[in-house]
């Protein structure tokens, strides 16, 4: 069992649980996810972080940016400045999977959550 958390975020992985081995959460919410859902979330957030890294040096300190991306069943938004940003995510249900979710992490919880997710999945 891997469990990591900090102010405004939470991540747990229990490989012995079948079906929904991951739990992610924010300050007032949490949801269990399948391994495939977490892999999709990971890919989405890593790409948003990569895009932010590519343009952050072009931003003035007080300038803000919003990046949106849709991959597979996930939609994500990175919103903030060069140094601080938050994340919003939406899992869009489809015919095979009828459930969905919306969640968000403000800065600096978003950066901490993404760092923890990378350590668990990379």
Could you check whether the bond before residue 108 is cis, i.e. omega within 30 degrees of 0? yes
pLDDT digits (tens, 9 = 90+) for 99-119: 789 999 999 999 999 999 999
Q: Please check the confidence at residue 51 and state whether its pLDDT lies above 90.
A: yes
Residue count of the chain: 122
Looking at residue 28, its pLDDT comes to 94
pLDDT digits (tens, 9 = 90+) for 58-101: 999 889 999 999 998 999 999 999 999 999 999 987 666 677 89
Q: Rounded CA gap, 75 and 29, in Å?
A: 18
Looking at residue 6, its pLDDT comes to 97
Nearest in space to 74 (alpha carbons), one of 117, 106, 104, 38: 38
How high is the mean pLDDT of the chain? Answer: 94
pTM as predicted: 0.93
User: Which helix (DSSP H) or strand (DSSP E) does residue 35 occupy?
Assistant: helix 35-55
| Tokens matching residue 87 | 């994340």
């Amino acid at each position: 069992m891997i469990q990591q958390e900090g102010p405004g975020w939470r991540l747990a992985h229990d490989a012995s649980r079948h079906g929904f081995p991951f739990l992610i959460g924010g300050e007032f919410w949490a949801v269990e996810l399948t391994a495939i859902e977490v892999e999709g979330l990971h890919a989405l957030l890593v790409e948003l972080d990569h895009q932010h890294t590519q343009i952050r040096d072009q931003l003035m300190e007080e300038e803000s940016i919003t990046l949106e991306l849709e991959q597979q069943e996930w939609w994500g938004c990175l919103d903030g400045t060069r140094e601080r940003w938050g994340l919003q995510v939406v899992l869009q249900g489809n015919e095979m999977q009828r459930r969905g979710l919306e969640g968000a992490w403000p800065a600096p919880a978003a950066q901490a959550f993404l760092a923890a997710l990378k350590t668990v999945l990379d």
